[in-house]
């Protein structure tokens, strides 16, 4: 078998592979991170690369035009290596670091700021599952010669920690530790309900150094925060893309990847690797001794959590959609490869069903909707739109497959909300000229989810597209044109873009987004109907999630993604998943409530619900078939 060298730019990383190897796999092996949205199916067209030197065998794909092929473009997943290559990865195909910034208060709705969150979190009981206590034991004598562990246990009992157990390695080193500390030791206890487990014993008093890590295991992005358990404060925050992204963009493509040879193991090691990197960064940045991290509290959707544990997720994808488990055991983090001390324990928030995960449970808990008298709608929009309706007495939920449109997927120039992504757009009603703002205020490379919503709302209000999302090609503007793949609007001319191509939004892109928003809107209506209430009964709408946090309510309502309700009812809580994990580090009650909520929440499966199909079809208009439900939109259209 012949072997060839492939060099990737701009990483300037080289790898040698066998003849016929797939270019995407080669990139993965070289640890070059390419956006492979569909997991290597050749359908999403996101793993576009440019072959600068050498020629490769390309399998045909509708995602590439003839002109692009002539210019050296190729889809990494559909390309086989047959000679030495030099491959350039354009910015839109690259997975990069996410910008971390706080959004200013939006014009409609209340955004819970970081400062407000610190206050809210402080209101959770300070009763961490991880307890550190310094004990001075009486020295053994002939009259008091019980075993070392019995002595420690007796003293723990005197301090209110009853029925404690102890980990074997801690027990093993106990005689030495007790004598080294001259019978003064600091004990770290993991409390789970009535059970207490001694997970660490250190000589002398170390109660002041006591940390845990909260993790939001997102499909796209993983966020980790270092929490000082003593003060309850966040002392570091890091985020990065989930390294699994190179195996598929959404949960379904990850599940498919997991069924391939060693796929599950690979996915587990990738997410664990991502978490390891984040923890290492947090440790380095904060300068703490990593040995003092006693716990990790994670929250993620059901599939992400199964993958983190290494559970086979394949039945999540097949009717009737069954995960291995929705409640997770406390485990030693090192048992799944997390690079922390041997005594560090990990817990994941319980899930409700295959498509309502621990991230939602976590968000519901931290938003306190499950303790509220008010009828609350909780919504987390991403690839899936997860929706929870209820109050302290009952909770009902559903999940609607929105597709990747809100995250910039399935859209020709869509991209994640990284540097260069168009995030805000205004279109002049007379000239149809756009004003655009990008993340990082740099030359645009594509359009992120909020940008797409903005554009569609603007195209609709400026009548470039009609209620069905169809383009009016009669409009007298070079920006409204018939492109290679049908009607489109040119947002950025090639000369102004970072890509040297026109950045456009096509009719197909609009249709994609309409389908996505229709699914979410229909889901909300199904929940409301299931409890025989009306949209107007909703007293609060909580919008969670990184994407949701940047939504402009006016635009969102204009396209009919969310119902038209007064601004004061909208609250943006941001990443509810990590906030819940933070709260759980601080308070055992949070974990207990999470289990209760996960068990009591009703889940409605929409995929086989005929009423949902009716609602969905009605919502495939801008803003809706029944536009009278959106009086403000009518006003704007009439302006």
Reference 59, options 77, 86, 38; nearest CA is: 77
CA distances from 544 to 378, 547, 548 (A): 7, 8, 6
| The binder of a copy of itself chosen from 500, 608, 610, 635 (CB under 8 A) | 608
| The binder of a copy of itself chosen from 4, 8, 257, 311 (CB under 8 A) | 311
Q: Which long-range contacts (CB under 8 A, 24 or more apart) does 319-328 make?
A: 319/607, 319/608, 320/605, 321/353, 321/354, 321/355, 321/605, 322/354, 323/351, 323/353, 323/354, 326/302, 326/350, 326/351, 326/352, 326/353, 326/598, 327/351, 327/595, 327/598, 328/358
- Six token digits for residue 474: 């009669």
Identify the helix (H) or strand (E) that includes residue 588. helix 588-600
Reference 357, options 613, 592, 576; nearest CA is: 576
Q: Does position 592 bind a copy of itself by CB under 8 A?
A: no
- Six token digits for residue 500: 């040297």
Q: How far is the CB of 527 from a copy of itself (least distance, A)?
A: 17
* Stretch near a copy of itself under the rule CB under 8 A, chosen from 40-48, 314-322, 387-395, 578-586: 314-322
Q: How far is the CB of 319 from a copy of itself (least distance, A)?
A: 7
| The binder of a copy of itself chosen from 335, 484, 496, 537 (CB under 8 A) | 335
Toward a copy of itself, which CB reaches closer, 335 or 472? 335
Instruction: Give the Cα separation of 254 and 219 in Å (integer).
Output: 9
- For the purposes of burial, counting CB atoms within 10 Å of the CB of 483, is it exposed (0-12), middle (13-18) or buried (19 or more)? middle
- Six token digits for residue 466: 């009609």
| The binder of a copy of itself chosen from 314, 317, 481, 592 (CB under 8 A) | 314
Toward a copy of itself, which CB reaches closer, 35 or 326? 326
Toward a copy of itself, which CB reaches closer, 311 or 489? 311
Q: How far is the CB of 521 from a copy of itself (least distance, A)?
A: 23
Toward a copy of itself, which CB reaches closer, 117 or 149? 149
Q: How far is the CB of 324 from a copy of itself (least distance, A)?
A: 5
**126-165 residues near a copy of itself, rule: CB under 8 A:** 140-142, 144-150, 165
Toward a copy of itself, which CB reaches closer, 166 or 490? 166
Site map for a copy of itself, 160-179, x if CB under 8 A? -----xx-x--xx-xxx---
- Six token digits for residue 37: 């949205």
Q: Does position 184 bind a copy of itself by CB under 8 A?
A: no
Toward a copy of itself, which CB reaches closer, 348 or 453? 348
Instruction: Give the Cα separation of 35 and 48 in Å (integer).
Output: 8
In order, the DSSP letters of 110-140 are EE--HHHHHHHHHTS-SB-SEEEEEEEPPPP
Toward a copy of itself, which CB reaches closer, 9 or 183? 183
Q: How far is the CB of 620 from a copy of itself (least distance, A)?
A: 25
Compute how many residues bind a copy of itself; rule: CB under 8 A.
42
- Count of C-beta atoms within a 10 Å radius of residue 548: 24
Toward a copy of itself, which CB reaches closer, 20 or 147? 147
Helical ranges in 61-127 per DSSP H: 66-70, 114-122
* Stretch near a copy of itself under the rule CB under 8 A, chosen from 46-54, 117-125, 305-313, 537-545: 305-313
| The binder of a copy of itself chosen from 66, 115, 160, 319 (CB under 8 A) | 319
Q: Does position 309 bind a copy of itself by CB under 8 A?
A: yes
- Per the CB < 8 A criterion, the answer to whether 417 and 98 are in contact is yes
| The binder of a copy of itself chosen from 104, 160, 320, 566 (CB under 8 A) | 320
Q: How far is the CB of 582 from a copy of itself (least distance, A)?
A: 25
**416-455 residues near a copy of itself, rule: CB under 8 A:** none
Identify the helix (H) or strand (E) that includes residue 212. strand 211-217
**232-251 residues near a copy of itself, rule: CB under 8 A:** none
| The binder of a copy of itself chosen from 22, 324, 391, 596 (CB under 8 A) | 324
| The binder of a copy of itself chosen from 68, 83, 312, 339 (CB under 8 A) | 312
Q: How far is the CB of 596 from a copy of itself (least distance, A)?
A: 15
Q: Does position 106 bind a copy of itself by CB under 8 A?
A: no
Toward a copy of itself, which CB reaches closer, 134 or 137? 137
Toward a copy of itself, which CB reaches closer, 77 or 604? 604
- For the purposes of burial, counting CB atoms within 10 Å of the CB of 140, is it exposed (0-12), middle (13-18) or buried (19 or more)? middle
Q: Does position 263 bind a copy of itself by CB under 8 A?
A: no
Instruction: Give the Cα separation of 501 and 50 in Å (integer).
Output: 14
Q: How far is the CB of 362 from a copy of itself (least distance, A)?
A: 18
Instruction: Give the Cα separation of 175 and 183 in Å (integer).
Output: 10
Toward a copy of itself, which CB reaches closer, 328 or 550? 328
Toward a copy of itself, which CB reaches closer, 332 or 368? 332
Query: Kind of pairing, strands 570-574 and 540-544?
Result: parallel
Cα angle vertex 377, ends 372, 383, to 5°?
135
Toward a copy of itself, which CB reaches closer, 166 or 579? 166
Toward a copy of itself, which CB reaches closer, 206 or 326? 326
Instruction: Give the Cα separation of 578 and 19 in Å (integer).
Output: 45
In order, the DSSP letters of 250-285 are SHHHHHHHHHSTTHHHHHHHHHHHHHHHHHHHHHHH
- Count of C-beta atoms within a 10 Å radius of residue 276: 17
Q: How far is the CB of 314 from a copy of itself (least distance, A)?
A: 8
- Per the CB < 8 A criterion, the answer to whether 79 and 100 are in contact is no
Site map for a copy of itself, 343-362, x if CB under 8 A? --------x-xx--------
Binding-site ranges for a copy of itself (CB under 8 A): 140-142, 144-150, 165-166, 168, 171-172, 174-176, 309-312, 314-315, 319-327, 329, 331, 335, 351, 353-354, 603, 605, 608
């Amino acid at each position: 078998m012949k072997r060839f060298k492939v060099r990737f730019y701009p990483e300037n990383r080289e790898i040698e592979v066998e003849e016929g190897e797939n270019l995407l796999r080669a990139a993965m092996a070289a640890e070059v991170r390419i956006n492979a949205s569909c997991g290597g199916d050749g359908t999403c067209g996101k793993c576009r690369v440019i072959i600068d030197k050498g020629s490769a065998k390309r399998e045909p794909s509708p995602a590439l035009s003839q002109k692009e092929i002539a210019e050296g473009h190729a889809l990494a997943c559909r390309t086989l290596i047959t000679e030495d290559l030099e491959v350039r990865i354009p910015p839109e195909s690259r997975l990069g670091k996410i910008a971390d910034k706080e959004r200013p208060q939006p014009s409609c709705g209340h955004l819970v700021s970081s400062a407000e969150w610190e206050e809210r979190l402080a209101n959770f009981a300070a009763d961490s599952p991880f307890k550190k206590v310094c004990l001075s034991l009486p020295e053994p004598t002939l009259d008091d010669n019980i075993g070392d562990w019995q002595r420690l246990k007796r003293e723990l009992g005197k301090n209110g920690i009853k029925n404690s157990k102890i980990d074997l390695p801690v027990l093993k080193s106990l005689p030495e530790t007790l004598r080294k500390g001259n019978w003064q030791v600091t004990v770290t206890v993991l409390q789970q309900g009535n059970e207490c487990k001694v997970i660490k014993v250190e000589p002398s008093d170390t109660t002041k150094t006591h940390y845990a890590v909260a993790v939001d295991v997102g499909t796209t992005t993983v966020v980790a925060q270092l929490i000082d358990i003593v003060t309850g404060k966040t002392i570091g925050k890091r985020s990065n893309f989930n390294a699994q992204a190179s195996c598929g963009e959404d949960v379904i493509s990850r599940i498919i990847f997991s069924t391939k040879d060693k796929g599950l193991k690979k996915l587990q090691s990738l997410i664990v690797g991502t978490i390891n990197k984040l923890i290492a960064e947090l440790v380095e940045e904060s300068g703490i001794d990593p040995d003092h991290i006693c716990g990790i509290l994670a929250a993620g959707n059901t599939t992400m959590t199964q993958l983190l544990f290494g559970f086979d997720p394949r039945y999540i994808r097949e009717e009737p959609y069954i995960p291995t488990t929705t409640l997770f055991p406390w485990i030693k983090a090192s048992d799944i490869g997390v690079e922390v001390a041997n005594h560090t324990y990990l817990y994941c928030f319980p899930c409700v069903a295959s498509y309502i995960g621990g991230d939602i449970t976590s968000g519901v808990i931290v938003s306190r909707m499950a303790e509220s008298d008010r009828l609350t709608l909780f919504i987390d929009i991403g690839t899936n739109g997860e929706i929870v309706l209820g109050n302290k007495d009952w909770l009902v939920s559903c999940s609607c497959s929105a597709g990747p449109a809100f995250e910039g997927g399935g859209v020709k120039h869509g991209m994640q909300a990284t540097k260069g992504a168009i995030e805000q757009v205004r279109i002049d009603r007379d000239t149809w000229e756009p004003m655009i703002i990008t993340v990082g205020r740099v030359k645009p490379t594509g359009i992120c989810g909020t940008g797409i919503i903005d554009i569609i709302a603007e195209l609709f209000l400026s009548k470039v597209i009609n209620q069905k999302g169809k383009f009016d090609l009669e409009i007298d503007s070079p920006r409204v044109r018939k492109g290679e793949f049908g009607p489109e609007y040119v947002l950025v001319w090639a000369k102004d873009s970072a890509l040297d191509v026109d950045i456009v939004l096509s009719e197909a892109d609009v249709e994609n987004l309409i389908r996505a928003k229709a699914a979410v809107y229909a889901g909300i209506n199904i929940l409301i109907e299931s409890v025989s209430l009306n949209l107007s009964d909703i007293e609060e709408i909580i919008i969670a999630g990184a994407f949701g946090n940047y939504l402009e309510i006016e635009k969102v309502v204009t396209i009919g993604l969310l119902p038209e309700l007064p601004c004061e009812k909208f609250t943006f809580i941001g990443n509810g998943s990590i906030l819940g994990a933070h709260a759980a580090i601080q308070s055992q009650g949070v974990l207990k409530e999470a289990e209760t909520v996960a068990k009591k929440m009703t889940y409605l499966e929409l995929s086989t619900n005929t009423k949902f199909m009716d609602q969905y079809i009605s919502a495939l208009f801008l803003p809706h078939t029944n536009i009278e439900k959106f009086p403000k939109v009518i006003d704007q259209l009439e302006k």
